[in-house]
């Protein structure tokens, strides 16, 4: 039996430099991450120029460490995949140049991977999930509902009209003085709070489409904090914000899942992206799946946040399909998964 293909994946789209080796049988041979979280926490968020310098310093050691952890030689890999966008362009450039250099030097295929597609295909890596399925991609910069039919084959059902859910968590944490990153901070504070203590709006509740909006939640929270400043209960505020975001995600996903089942006859729901690691969000979405007797996949938290294993696996899917990228690929700060989708109502739509 011949050796199974192994892909080296590189992720550098935001503030973490990561590399992973993934085999075609869905085994993660090794992965390693160099985080800049502490550095950016001092600034209250990611500083692009600082992040780019961090990636430049870390990329070589991270790849070397990953190979060492797997006791693997560079001569034994079958291709190199790297995030080609969307993301902070400085970091994306660092990862792309590294991947191209390895591929060119060793005569290997190169795979420019859409970061969102890495998240979209994670359920295939973790659960060997069959196509098609409905995906809620919910992260710091993206909130989308997509039907996934195969590598590069997506149909958008809904997207955010302004801020992403992750941005609502981050802004809420900032307003409540909980620090950065906001998602874990809000979740921790919410554990001792009452989610029914504060009445927050449900954006677009009366609209019949599958689009999201979270900017109004941030504004409403800020007003409540100002009104109750002398008697502020941070735990209650955090719990109420978390419940409002989870409810908004679940209601739109419910509508999209009904549409997906009607169009495909398949009941499969996946949630991926950093916000998917939130337990309240996961519980709300699991209930949606149960209500529709849908197969439900929520990858482990470590594979919901940005990581290189998902990039390596997306590269593997293209490798097995015989589809590689040209070495003249230009990194992209914006890169929608479904570029042909009609624009939703409103302005400032995130891709």
Question: Is the preceding omega at residue 257 within 30 degrees of 0, hence cis?
Answer: no
Instruction: Express each pLDDT in 46-67 by its tens digit.
Output: 667 777 888 899 999 999 999 9
Kindly report the average pLDDT of the chain as a whole number. 91
| pLDDT tier at 41, thresholds 50, 70, 90 | low
For 242-251, b/e burial (b = at least 16 CB within 10 A) is bbbbbbbbbb
Q: What does the alpha-carbon distance between residue 67 and residue 69 come to, in Å, rounded to a whole number?
A: 6
| pLDDT tier at 194, thresholds 50, 70, 90 | very high
| pLDDT tier at 45, thresholds 50, 70, 90 | low
Instruction: Express each pLDDT in 257-266 by its tens digit.
Output: 999 999 999 9
Q: For residue 193, what is the DSSP state?
A: S
Q: How far is CA 153 from CA 5, 8, 118, 329, 341, in A?
A: 23, 23, 13, 20, 12
User: What pLDDT, on a 0 to 100 scale, did the predictor assign at position 230?
Assistant: 76
User: Would the pLDDT of 350 be above 70?
Assistant: no
User: What pLDDT, on a 0 to 100 scale, did the predictor assign at position 228?
Assistant: 82
pLDDT average, residue stretch 216-232: 87
Cα–Cα nearest to 7, from 141, 177, 93, 121: 121
| pLDDT tier at 16, thresholds 50, 70, 90 | confident
**Same fold? 6-123+303-320, 131-299:** yes
User: Would the pLDDT of 1 be above 50?
Assistant: no
> How far does Cα 112 stand from its chain's mean position?
17
Q: For residue 129, what is the DSSP state?
A: P
Domain 6-123+303-320 of CATH type 3.30.420.40: yes
User: Would the pLDDT of 349 be above 60?
Assistant: no
Q: Which residue has the higher pLDDT, 143 or 43?
A: 143
Which of 221-230, 260-269, 311-320 has the weakest average pLDDT? 221-230
User: Would the pLDDT of 348 be above 50?
Assistant: no
Q: What does the alpha-carbon distance between residue 249 and residue 247 come to, in Å, rounded to a whole number?
A: 5
Which of 65-74, 215-224, 239-248 has the weakest average pLDDT? 215-224
Which of 1-5, 79-83, 92-96, 98-102 has the weakest average pLDDT? 1-5
Percent with pLDDT over 70 in the chain: 94
Q: Report the relative pairing of strands 16-23 and 6-11 from DSSP bridges.
A: antiparallel
Contact criterion met (CB below 8 Å) for 36 and 51:
yes
Which of 13-22, 222-231, 237-246 has the weakest average pLDDT? 222-231
pLDDT average, residue stretch 98-119: 97
Q: For residue 347, what is the DSSP state?
A: S
User: What pLDDT, on a 0 to 100 scale, did the predictor assign at position 42?
Assistant: 62
Q: Which residue has the higher pLDDT, 54 or 154?
A: 154
- One of 3.30.420.40, 3.30.565.10, 3.60.10.10, 3.50.50.60 is the CATH number of 131-299, namely 3.30.420.40
For 131-150, b/e burial (b = at least 16 CB within 10 A) is ebbbbbbbbbbbbbbbbbee
User: What pLDDT, on a 0 to 100 scale, did the predictor assign at position 181?
Assistant: 80
Give 68-72's long-range contacts (Cβ < 8 A, gap of 24+): 69/30, 69/31, 69/32, 70/21, 70/29, 70/30, 72/6, 72/21, 72/29, 72/30
pLDDT average, residue stretch 310-318: 98
User: Would the pLDDT of 347 be above 50?
Assistant: no
User: Would the pLDDT of 351 be above 90?
Assistant: no
The answer to whether the predicted template modeling score (pTM) of the entire model surpasses 0.85 is yes
Domain positions in the chain are 6-123+303-320, 131-299
User: What pLDDT, on a 0 to 100 scale, did the predictor assign at position 204?
Assistant: 82
């Amino acid at each position: 039996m011949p050796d199974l293909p192994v892909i080296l994946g590189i992720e550098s789209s935001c503030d973490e430099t990561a590399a992973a080796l993934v085999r075609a049988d869905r085994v993660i041979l090794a992965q390693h991450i160099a985080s800049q979280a502490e550095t950016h926490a001092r600034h209250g968020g990611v500083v692009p120029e600082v992040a780019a310098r961090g990636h430049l310093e870390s990329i070589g050691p991270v790849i070397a460490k990953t190979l060492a952890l797997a006791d693997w030689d560079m001569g034994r890999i079958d291709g190199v995949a790297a995030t080609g966008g969307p993301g902070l362009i400085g970091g994306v450039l660092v990862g792309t140049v590294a991947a191209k250099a390895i591929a060119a030097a060793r005569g290997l295929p190169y795979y420019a991977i859409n970061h969102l597609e890495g998240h979209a295909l994670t359920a295939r890596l973790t659960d060997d999930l069959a196509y098609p399925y409905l995906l809620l991609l919910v992260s710091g910069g993206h909130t989308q509902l997509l039907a996934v039919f195969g590598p590069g084959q997506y149909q958008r059902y809904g997207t955010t009209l302004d801020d992403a859910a992750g941005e609502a968590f981050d802004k809420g944490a900032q307003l409540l003085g909980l620090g950065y990153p906001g998602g874990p901070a809000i979740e921790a504070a919410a554990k001792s709070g009452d989610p029914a203590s504060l009445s927050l709006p449900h954006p677009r509740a009366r609209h019949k489409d599958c689009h999201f909006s979270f900017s109004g939640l941030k504004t409403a929270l800020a007003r409540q904090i100002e009104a109750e400043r002398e008697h502020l209960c941070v735990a209650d505020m955090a719990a109420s914000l978390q419940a409002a975001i989870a409810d908004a995600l679940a209601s739109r996903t419910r509508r999209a899942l009904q549409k997906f089942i009607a169009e495909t006859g398949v009941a499969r729901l996946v949630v991926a992206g950093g916000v998917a690691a939130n337990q309240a969000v996961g519980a709300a979405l699991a209930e949606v799946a149960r209500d529709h007797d849908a197969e439900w996949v929520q990858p482990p938290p470590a594979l919901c946040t940005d990581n290189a294993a998902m990039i390596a696996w997306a590269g593997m899917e293209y490798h097995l399909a015989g589809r590689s990228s040209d070495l003249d690929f230009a990194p992209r700060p914006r890169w929608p998964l479904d570029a042909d989708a009609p624009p939703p109502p409103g302005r400032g739509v995130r891709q």
